[in-house]
Amino acid sequence: MNILVKPIVTEKMTAQTERYNRYGFVVDRRASKDQIKKAVESLYNVSVDTVNTMIYGGKKKSRYTKSGVITGRTNSYKKAIVTLAEGDTIDFYSNI
């Protein structure tokens, strides 16, 4: 099971990274906090203090087009906020 789907790189997460040393990831919905902690520690070679998770449900969206109204739904996902130990950092841009 691939636990970490992708990192979250937004203005809000960047501010939390600078202020609280927290990083955000989109993770598999079946992953537990312990599995997320082990995956981050092994992939980025850092020590994790805490893991907070939240599940976002999909939203109904609709838009108007020439052929009428198209309705759909956005995907639901699980998000993990990982707080690292003091002195540890993750560089998402090192592989570019």
Q: What is the pLDDT of residue 1?
A: 59
What domain range includes position 65? 4-84
Q: Which tens digits make up the pLDDT trace of 25-44?
A: 999 999 999 999 999 999 99
CA nearest to 5, candidates 18, 19, 30, 17: 30
Domain membership flag for residue 90: no
- Number of structural domains in the chain: 1
CATH, residue 68: 3.30.70.330
Mean pLDDT of the chain: 93
Domain membership flag for residue 34: yes
Domain membership flag for residue 38: yes
**Neighbour tally for 77: CB within 10 Å:** 16
pTM for the complete prediction? 0.86
> Is the pLDDT score of 54 beyond 70?
yes
